[in-house]
Structure 1
C-alpha cells in the first residue's frame, strides 16, 4: 500500500524526483568546490546520482549458482566464501579502504557468473581481482599504487607467479568488459548514497539520526555480508537499504527498551517513510526485500554469535617454510655463541648450537589454498 508523503517531506521529495542525471563517481560527502550547496541543491545532486545508479545497477549484479558440494570439479560456495575471506584478510593486512575489498569481491563473483572455472584456478583469480581493484582505486582517487603484484602473490600464498596474476587480470578485464575510467556501482556506493540521503532528510525534518548508523559500522557490516555466499545475488540497492535500516531498527529497539530515552513517534515515521519512498522510486519488490532482510539477519546473527564466544581464536597465519625464509632471512642466526673447547684432543669438540626461537609451520603443499596461510579462524576487524 502506498504511504502518502508527509507535509514536512513535501519540500524535498519532489525536488529530488525532478532532478536530472549526475555522474556516479562524484563525491557525495564533499561540498562544491566553489561554494557550499544548499539543502535543495544537495537533494537534487543526490537524487540525480540515485537515478544514475539505477541505470548502472544491472551491470554490477552477479548471478551466481554454485553447488554446496563439488561433484564434477565445480567451484563450491565454500570455496567462494574462502576466497572472499582471503580478500578481506589482504585488506586488513595492507590496511586498504573498503572500496578495494567490495570491488574485488564483486569482480570475483561476476567473473564466476560468466565463466566456469576449475577450483585450482580460484587462488589466481582471487589475487587477480584484488590486483584489478587496486588499479581501479588508484585511478579513481588519482593516487599511486603502493602494493605490487609480487607482494600480493607472496602474502596470499596463491601458488602462482606475478606473471600468472597479470595474465589472469587481463582475462578478467576482457571477459567483464571493464573500461578504464568507468567504475562499477557496488553495494558500498549504494550504502553511502542512501545514508547521505537519509541524513539530509533527517536534518530537514529535525530528526536526530541514531548513533548506530555511523558509516564505519555500516561498512563493516557490509563487508561481513559480502563475504557470505547467501547474500551474493541480492540486489545491491536492496542490500544497502536493508543494512541501513537493520542498524536503525537495532538502535530504535534499544531506545524503546530504555525508559530514559523518549522518541517521538513522528520521528520514527519520518525515517521509515523515507525508506518507503526510496523503495517505490527504485521499484524494489516487497517479497525480494523481505527475503534480503531475512538473509542479512541470518548472516549478521551468526557473526554476532561468533563474536560473543569467549574461547574464539584470533587471526591465524600459517606460513610455509618458503614464505618464512622470505619474511625472516635471519632465521639461521643464533642468539648465543658456541663455547670454544680448549682441549684439542676432546672426543666431541663440536659445541652445541642454540637456534633462534623462530617457529614455522609444517612444509605443506599449496593445493589446500585458501585454507593456508591467510584464511582466518576469526577476525576482529
Structure 2
C-alpha cells in the first residue's frame, strides 16, 4: 500500500496537511491525562469521598450543557474536558469541589478558543451553572488549575486529529465531499468524551476509530483505502485500532439507544423571578418593558383606561419573587422561561 505522501495526485496542500499531522503526533502525548490517575478514578467507588467515574461523566455533561447554553464551539467543549481530565488525573479531588473545578475548566477553555466578545462573564457562568461558588472561589481554583497544568491549556485533542483526518481524506478522494459528514463525526466524539474510558485513548487513535467506523457505514472502498493510509502514516498499529474501535462502536450503539439520556435531548426548565432576570446579561434573557396585553380580545376606547390599571397591577404581581426552589435547574436547553402569575401575554 502506498503512503499518502507517495501518491501520484498528492498536492502541495496535502503535503502541508501531512506535515501538520506529524507535528500533532509529536505533541499529543504531552496533553494526555496521566493514565495512572485515570485508573484511580475508574477504580473509585461512589461511597468514597473522591471523584468516581459517574461524577466525572456527569460533570462532562454539565460542560456540554454550558457550551450549548452560551452557544460556544465544539472545540471549547473538547478542550474543557481535556483540561478537566488532566487536572483530575493528577489531583485528589473531593466531590464538593468538582462544580467549581468544572466551571473553571470551561472558562479557561473559552478564553483559549473563543473571541473575547463571546466569552461569558464569571458572574453569568456561576448563575447559569448553579455551581454555588463565588467569584473569589473561582479565581483561587483557576490559579490552582493553571499552576498544576503549568499554564498549558491549548492542547492537541481528538478533535484536532478528527478535523485534520477529515481534511486529508477530502484532499485525496474523488467522491462527493459531503459523503463524510464532519458534524456527525463531531457528535460521535462528543458522546465518547462523556465516557471516562476514552480519556485513556491516544487522541490520534480515538479520532481514527471514529473515522474508520463512519467510512465503513458509507461502504466506500476509496475512502476506506485512504483511511488505511492515514492509519499507516500515523503509525497506529492494528491491535490498538481494533481494541478502541470495539469500545467506540459499543459507546455509539449505547448512545443511540432510546434508553440513553442525552444532554442534547433534555430541555432546560429555568424559572426565574423578575429581579433575577434583570440581573442576567441581556443577550441571554431580556425582561419586556412594555405593558402586558390581556387575552380577552380587543378593547374599546371606554374600557382602555380601566384596563390600563389592571395591567399595572399585574406587573406588580409579576415583580414578586417566586420561592427559591423554583429559581432554576440548569440543564439543557437554550431559552429560559419566565414564570407567569397571571394569564397575560407579552408582546413579541
**TM-score interval for Structure 1 and Structure 2 normalised by the shorter chain:** 0.7 to 0.9
Q: Confirm whether residue 327 of structure 1 aligns to residue 263 of structure 2.
A: no
Aligned with residue 44 of structure 1, among 9, 12, 15 = 15
2: CA distance between counterparts of 1:91 and 1:172?
20
Q: Which residue matches 2:243? A: 291
* 2:185–2:211 Cα contact (<8 Å) kept: yes
* 1:15–1:40 Cα contact (<8 Å) kept: no
1: CA distance between counterparts of 2:156 and 2:165?
13
1: CA distance between counterparts of 2:113 and 2:319?
40
Instruction: For structure 2, list consecutive stretches of 5 or more residues without a partner in the other structure.
Output: 280-286, 295-305, 310-314, 334-348
How far is 1:374 from its partner? Answer: 2.7
State TM-score, norm by structure 1. Answer: 0.69
State TM-score, norm by structure 2. Answer: 0.75
Q: Which residue matches 1:373? A: 329
Q: Which residue matches 1:158? A: 131
How far is 1:274 from its partner? Answer: 2.3
2: CA distance between counterparts of 1:359 and 1:77?
38
Q: Does the residue aligned with 1:56 lie in a helix, a strand or coil?
A: helix
* 1:111–1:172 Cα contact (<8 Å) kept: yes
RMSD over equivalenced CA pairs, Å? 3.7
Aligned with residue 5 of structure 2, among 13, 33, 40 = 13
How far is 1:110 from its partner? Answer: 0.6
Q: Which residue matches 2:166? A: 195
How far is 1:210 from its partner? Answer: 5.8
Q: How many residues align?
A: 303
How far is 1:251 from its partner? Answer: 2.4
C-alpha offsets along residues 199-254 of structure 1, whole Å, 9 cap, x if unaligned?
A: 1111xxx334562x2222211221121112232211111111111222222222xx
2: CA distance between counterparts of 1:68 and 1:318?
33
* 1:150–1:162 Cα contact (<8 Å) kept: yes
1: CA distance between counterparts of 2:260 and 2:82?
29
How far is 1:326 from its partner? Answer: 1.5
Q: Confirm whether residue 102 of structure 1 aligns to residue 59 of structure 2.
A: no
How far is 1:132 from its partner? Answer: 0.4
> Which stretches of structure 1, 4 residues or more, deviate above 3 A after TM superposition?
143-146, 207-210, 316-319, 334-338, 353-362
Deviates more, 1:161-170 or 1:49-58: 161-170
2: CA distance between counterparts of 1:226 and 1:200?
27
2: CA distance between counterparts of 1:315 and 1:358?
25
* 2:76–2:110 Cα contact (<8 Å) kept: yes
Q: Confirm whether residue 74 of structure 1 aligns to residue 50 of structure 2.
A: yes
Q: Which residue matches 2:141? A: 168
Q: Which residue matches 2:340? A: none
